[in-house]
Amino acid sequence: MKHTVFHHTKFVESDPGEESGRLMRHRIGFSLDFVRIRRDYKISRRSKPLAMKGFGGSSVTIRDWEQGERIEAFVALRKVERREYTGGERLSLEFGDQTGRIEGVMWEGFNDIVADLSPGCVVKVRGIVSSFRDKPQLKVERIRLAQPDEAKPQDFLPRSDVDPETLAVELERYLESLQDPHLRRLMFELFESDNLRERYLAAPAGKLWHHNTIGGLAEHSLNIVRICEFACTLYPELDRDLLVCGALLHDLGKIEQYSVTSMIDYSDEGRLVGHINTGDFRVATAIGRIEDFPVETASALRHLIVSHQGELAQGSPVVPMTPEAFVLHYADELDSKMGALHRVMEKTGDADWSEYVNLIGRYLYFGRQNRQSEGQTALGI
């Protein structure tokens, strides 16, 4: 006897004895719902930056600065170095905000302020946008530390295109969907302890390359969950709950790996220990607090975390050796690369070709995407 079940805006004919199939269709509904949420949230390929107050009529964000423009603005200081040249000393600088970065140089008048400057602080600068070696450069005339009531460090950080509430709802839905009692208990105990849920939802997944935004870790991890769920529909031998947990936890150590001020940088622990070791230690410690947690399940889950980068040369202490580990590795590769391409595409703007991308050793072509975007604009979509 069949009965009709309503799952997230679609009807499914279900046999009561086919519970596993019903659960899989239900879980696919989660993924479809998230796609609709992203569409309704109107996430664009070129997201709009957080509005910031400009000064003296200058452009609001670094992305909008033009050569020859006089700038007076608050920015995050990413780098400051004294360097010698034939005529004396200059100050080599790098500034950033939520839209990008720009090199800076100051030739004089910095001796009284340089001791107060350090990466991560917020400064007010005045200068002129010029060019050096075919790249924009700000010739700084004056620089000072920002006062606490003038600018907040978090205002200069890029943010995920997906709003925090949507990320929180999706994380909760996937946790609630777990059927394995041991994995379910582990995940809830992890995310309900040590303020981990809030830290997870706010953390970046990278410094510069991919998902280097506030909320980037959750966005990246949830993307991987959806890829893994789809893989489970193609390969039923996969352990769905194990993969969901592995996808959510694979980069857990990045909560400690990065120091977030007005910029994203590596913490001491991030450099000395690394996110794979930190994440595995946190998960292993949580497992140790759960009585009678299956040893085989613990090893399988930890293997997903320590092998997810795929190769020893990429930082994983072991290579993938289980079907779930292979799926997680390639899902991570896919989403991290697409996240990086999204960032390069935004930086490229309306040009068909990107600049040379050193990390992947190639130029990237976005001409087709540009024309599709223009067609959507013309249709009013």
Is 133 found in the same domain as 176? no
**Strand-strand pairing, 258-260 and 264-266:** antiparallel
Is 69 found in the same domain as 33? no
Q: Which residue has the tokens 């996110």?
A: 275
Q: Does any domain span residue 197?
A: yes
Range of the domain at 220: 159-342
Per the structure block, which two tokens stand in for 215?
Answer: 């909320």
How far apart are alpha carbons 234 and 241 in whole angstroms? 15
How far apart are alpha carbons 32 and 26 in whole angstroms? 10
How far apart are alpha carbons 280 and 286 in whole angstroms? 10
Give the angle 356-360-364 at the CA atoms, nearest 5°. 50
Nearest to 307 by CA among 295, 322, 287: 322
Q: Does any domain span residue 245?
A: yes
Torsion of CA 364, 365, 369, 371, to 10 degrees: 150
Is 334 found in the same domain as 316? yes
Is 254 found in the same domain as 224? yes
Is 138 found in the same domain as 10? no
Q: Which stretches in the chain have pLDDT values below 70?
A: 1-59, 371, 373-381
* pLDDT score recorded for residue 263: 87
Say if residues 136 and 103 touch (Cβ distance below 8 Å): yes
Side chain identity, residue 304: L
* pLDDT score recorded for residue 186: 98
Say if residues 61 and 68 touch (Cβ distance below 8 Å): no
* pLDDT score recorded for residue 375: 59
Nearest to 250 by CA among 163, 189, 335: 335
How far apart are alpha carbons 18 and 124 in whole angstroms? 64
Domain at 115, CATH number:
2.40.50.140
* pLDDT score recorded for residue 376: 53
Number of domains comprising the chain? 4
How far apart are alpha carbons 73 and 215 in whole angstroms? 26
Per the structure block, which two tokens stand in for 251?
Answer: 């980069």
Is 180 found in the same domain as 163? yes
Nearest to 155 by CA among 66, 250, 53: 53
Is 143 found in the same domain as 224? no
Q: Does any domain span residue 53?
A: no
Backbone phi and psi for residue 134, each to the nearest 5 degrees, phi listed first = 65, 20
Q: What is the pTM of this model?
A: 0.77
